[in-house]
Structure 1
Amino acid sequence: MTSPLRILLIDDNRSDRTLVLRELEREFDPLDVQEITSSGELNQAIAAGNFDAVVTDFQLRWSTGLDVLEMVKQRHPNCPVVMFTNTGTEEVAVEAMKLGLDDYIVKGPNRYIRVPIALRMAIERREMQQRAALLEIRLRGLLNRVKIGIFRFDAEGALIEANRAFLELLGAQSLAQASTMNWFDMRDCYRQLMHLPPPQQQEQEVNLQRSDGTEFWALLTTTLNTVEEVTVVDGLLEDISDRKQAEVDLQQLNTTLEIRVQERTIELQAANQDLEEFAYSVSHDLQAPLRAIQGFAQILLEDLSETLDASSSATLQRIVANAQHLNTLITDLLTYSRLRRAEIHSEPVSLSSVLDNVMAQLNSDIQQQQAQVHIDEPLPIVQANRLILTQVLSNLLFNAVKFVAEGVQPQVRIWAEERVEAGEPSTVRLYIEDNGIGIALDRHEQIFSPFTRLHGEADYPGTGIGLAIVRKGVERMGGQVGVESEPGQGSRFWVELPGVREP
């Protein structure tokens, strides 16, 4: 249930009270009106304080409306008061407004209706003022609790107001003390903001000094605003000393780590160099005794072929075959090692001329397999190293002829396409497509690693280094290599190298 509006109606004229009361009852429901006709009743009512608003005449038998207004405001400063009179003057109205009167109405036959309207407006205005005051109290409480300093200064660099956090950050006991500290050039800040386009705001990290001389890093944000037609600067001050220290620590850590990485890289490069030189030396030194084994075994086969039984002859033939396989493996290892270490010189190279050379080298293998190799001419020019490119294409073409199912005639097609993307240098992709046994999808990446074999030595002899040489060679020339294949569907290997525009 809504509480009734409690009103003190102060007027010694009974008719006026009756007319005002009638209008009040029309406007407010529920309503509780206490009619005051003497000073005693007034004193008791004000002392009790059981009212929400006051309507008073100016000229009373025992007093004046100004005295009533002053009595009410002394005890209840926020209570709305409306004066309804026909004996006051303009000077009285002005004086009453200075004392806190909410409205002044001159009595008249058609003016009674204005009393409840003026009273309602006064009550609503006071309620809004109270809510605003409460909101300001809450806001100030919140601003004093946050850890970010909030302040405001004028064009002359004078601090107007600040919250508690701002004073604590500067180590100041009061706004007056903070104003005497030379912690920041506020006038220069004001001038800089005036020359900025909207929004006129600056954010900077500054090193500031507290009142006790200690320093701290702060994030300072300043914004130019207009408050009640006065241009001021509103600022936020946040202590970022911990973050700055963390940045310094991180930078020192990164520097330390970078030095360690450089040291480890040098050590690793030296170790790799020693390892490669050792592998090269061992591989090279193994070839001499291996050639001797192969040669002596061949001599025994030739000189004693008529006296050896079938088992001994087969054993010698295995020695020769294994020695040959080991010699091929050592040769491939040396090739792979050279590719890793050698300095690469690139030049414009004709794919057609390189493939002619490769076809001549593999002529006996092609004829032995009765393979058909078709090359889609003309082929473009690429930026590459001729010797390495010859080795790469030789390995790929040899595999295309070699890895076919039994009884299947090898069919190989070679073609190239130029690839151009916006903003990127042109490249050439060379394809070598066969009708071989194919490669499972999950092995496409593994086949380019050294010593990876997908089939037994008896089915497809090899060292497992050929495709590793292909990848390393292509990468050293600044290109890429890949494969598209499925088991039983053949394979399509591709090599992509930088293109060369013909003059």
Structure 2
Amino acid sequence: MSQGFSILLIDDNPGDRLLAIRELKREFPQVQIQEIREAESFAQAVATGTFNLVITDYQLGWSNGLEVLRTLKARYPTRPVIMFTNTGSEEIAVESMKAGLNDYVLKQPNRYVRLAAAVRVALERVEAEQRAARLDLRLQALLNQLNVGVFRSDANGNLLECNPALLNVLGVDSIAQAQAVLPLDLRQQYLQLARLVPPQHQHQETQIQGSDGKPMWVVFSTMLNPVDDETVLDGLIEDITERKRAEMQLQHLNEVLEGRVTERTAQLEATNRELESTNQRLATANQNLQDFAYSVSHDLRAPLRAIQAFAQILLEEHTNQLDAIGQDYLQRIYVDTQQTDRLIQDLLAYSQLSQADIPLQPIDLERVVTSVLMQLAPELEQRQARVVVEPFTGMAIADRLTLTQVLTNLLTNAIKFVAPGVQPQVRLWAETRGDRIRLWIADNGIGIAPEAQQRIFNVFERLHGGEVYPGTGIGLAIVRKGIEQMNGQIGVESQPGQGSRFWIELSLA
């Protein structure tokens, strides 16, 4: 469909015109839109006729959309008209459709996008009808060469001659019988054609009773031709019963298809709106989180470190000036500032992971595991943890720093969340799954209830008090975010009191 066309926009509300023009320009950048606000400009536009399609409101200060439709269809019956209104009713819509309205669109905020779709469908339908009309004319030229019923009559409607095919179609044996049953007033047809400018021909379809008594569809093509010293009426008649059946089947299929397209379009529009809203909320949340994290990092960590330093000085140099309660309070201040500082650092790390564009490359997974265990050696020794790594090989698509942080957090949790008096035991192994590699980290910890296994990956989600198992509640959220940034997946299998098996899965290089 060419975008170089003109639209007549009839609406006396400037705001509604502006919104409609914006949607139409967005879909058809080259469209020319003529705005109609009063009766005089409408009359001029109708007289000029330089438009391809009309969009009209129903409630107008000088008329209504139904009268506008009737005026347009009387002058330009093939020009598509769309009613775009919020003041109509079902009765008005039905009456408008009977008067030739092409589409009826409600003027609502979420329907403006539907207006452009209605314009496209209406123009494409006009083009299809024009192509069909041109094809029909070509078919008529071909019909003159086919074995169809042929007849000739004079100006008074008397049959002069016919071929056997005509008698066969009508189910008669003679030209006299054909004259009696021919379902066409030949004299009236002659007069109608005589009033036309050359070429003087007409084409019409009608239903008649066949020779077997069953209804059948035939097509008549008539024209005036000069023969010798007089003008005669020549005609063709063809049985088109099968074609009409096919047309009715096609019409039914088109109606079904249009209904499905309308339904799918509505579903797609709703889905797009939901996706746009979700993306906007996610972008806003990520930006707010990043801004908050940086603000906390820059504005709070400095005074927090000062509090921590002064508390440490008091503990180291002025302990004898405080009683036992004062020393306990001061020790709590020092521990709480450390915990708060770790929380700020974890928030900043999570924010940076959420916003970062991580470069991925092939990484030796076993080497990264070995490196992390070396870094955690002091903590593993302090907790007397036993870690077993089963040999494996595999290059994963990942980022080394992000993967190191993910494994550090998972191993730290594995040796931390154990029952009092139990020696932490951790086992690591890997397995290949098609084009993916999965690393397992199993522990003998306290386990996780099934209903909490998804929540533990949320920010600030803690299942236990900080007095028993200290932490910030962000570690596993950082793990999940890091894995997602590397196009991977993470999961856990666990039961309370039976330990946990965390797994991460990355693309295999």
TM-score for the superposition, normalised by structure 1 = 0.52
Alignment partners' CA distance in 2, 1:407 and 1:341? 41
The amino acid of 1:464's aligned partner reads: G
Is the aligned partner of 1:384 residue 2:398? yes
Which entry has the higher C-alpha Rg, 1 or 2?
Answer: 1
| Number of the residue aligned with 1:335 | 349
Are residues 1:312 and 2:342 paired? no
Matched, 1:280 2:293: yes
Change (3 A) 1:260 1:310: same
- What SS does the aligned partner of 1:418 have? strand
Corresponding letter in the other structure for 1:288: A
2:286 touches 2:354 (CA, 8 Å); kept in 1? Answer: no
**Pair 1:408 & 2:422 matched:** yes
Amino acid at match of 2:335: A
Three-state SS of the structure 2 residue aligned to 1:306 is: helix
Amino acid at match of 2:249: L
State the shift of 1:300 in Å: 2.2
Q: Match of 2:507?
A: 498
Question: Which 5+ residue runs of structure 2 have no aligned equivalent?
Answer: 1-145, 150-167, 171-203, 211-215, 222-237
Structure 1 residue 364 corresponds to structure 2 residue 378: yes
Q: Which residue of 2 aligns with 1:394?
A: 408
Q: 2:473 aligned with 1:456, yes or no? A: no
Q: Secondary structure at the match of 1:400?
A: helix
Per-residue CA deviations over 1:438-492 (Å, capped at 9, x if unaligned) read 2222222222222221211111111111111111211221111111222222211
The CA RMSD over aligned residues, in Å, is 3.4
- 1:174 positional shift: 3.8
Alignment of 1:30-49 (within 5 A): none
Q: Does 1:264 align with 2:277?
A: yes
1:356 CA drift (Å): 2.2
Counterpart of 2:492 in structure 1 is: 483
Give SS of 1:325's match: helix
Structure 1: which amino acid aligns with 2:348? L
C-alpha distance in 1 between matches for 2:485 and 2:239? 61
Cα offset, 1:296, TM superposition: 2.0
1:473 to 2:486 alignment:
no
Structure 1 residue matching 2:426: 3-state secondary structure: strand
Q: Deviations over 1:191-222 (max 9, x none)?
A: xxxxxxxxxxx998x6xxxxxxxxxxx533xx
Q: Name the CA distance, whole Å, in 2 between partners of 1:398 and 1:269.
A: 30
Q: Does 1:432 find its partner at 2:441?
A: yes
Matches within 5 A, 1:46-85: none
Residues 457 and 480, structure 2, Cα contact 8 Å, conserved in 1: yes
Helix, strand or coil for the counterpart of 1:179?
A: strand
**Identity %, equivalent residues:** 44
* Aligned positions, number: 291
Shift of 1:497: 1.1
**C-alpha distance in structure 1 between counterparts of 2:245 and 2:486, whole Å:** 50
1:447 aligned onto 2:456: yes
Amino acid across the alignment from 2:218:
S
8 Å contact from structure 2 (residues 426, 444) kept in 1: yes
Structure 1 portions without partners, runs of 5+: 1-154, 162-169, 191-201, 207-217, 221-237, 421-425
| Cα contact 2:415–2:424 (8 A) shared by 1 | yes
Kept in 2, the 8 Å contact 1:379–1:415? The answer is no
Counterpart residue identity of residue 179, structure 1: V
**Cα separation, 2, equivalents of 1:399 and 1:310:** 34
Return the alpha-carbon distance in structure 2 between the equivalents of residues 405 and 375 of structure 1: 22
1:372 to 1:157, Cα distance in 2 relative to 1, 3 A: farther
**Matched letter for residue 219 of structure 1:** Q
In the alignment, is the contact (CA less than 8 A) between 1:294 and 1:323 conserved in 2?
yes
Any conservation in 1 of the 2:397–2:508 contact (CA below 8 Å)?
yes
Q: Which amino acid aligns with 1:386?
A: R
CA–CA distance in structure 1, aligned partners of residues 367 and 359 of structure 2: 18
Cα contact 2:431–2:438 (8 A) shared by 1: yes
Report the CA distance shift for 1:174/1:329 in structure 2 as closer, same or farther (over 3 A): same
Cα offset, 1:266, TM superposition: 6.0
Candidates 249, 254, 266, aligned match of 1:219: 249
Q: 1:268 to 1:239 in 2, by over 3 A?
A: same
- 1:482 partner letter: G
1:305 deviates by: 0.9
Which residue does 2:358 correspond to in 1?
A: 344
Whole-angstrom distance in 2 between the partners of 1:393 and 1:447: 16
Q: CA deviation at 1:263?
A: 5.2
**Under a length normalisation based on structure 2, what TM-score does the superposition of the two structures give?**
0.51
- Tell me the amino acid that sits aligned with residue 446 of structure 2: I
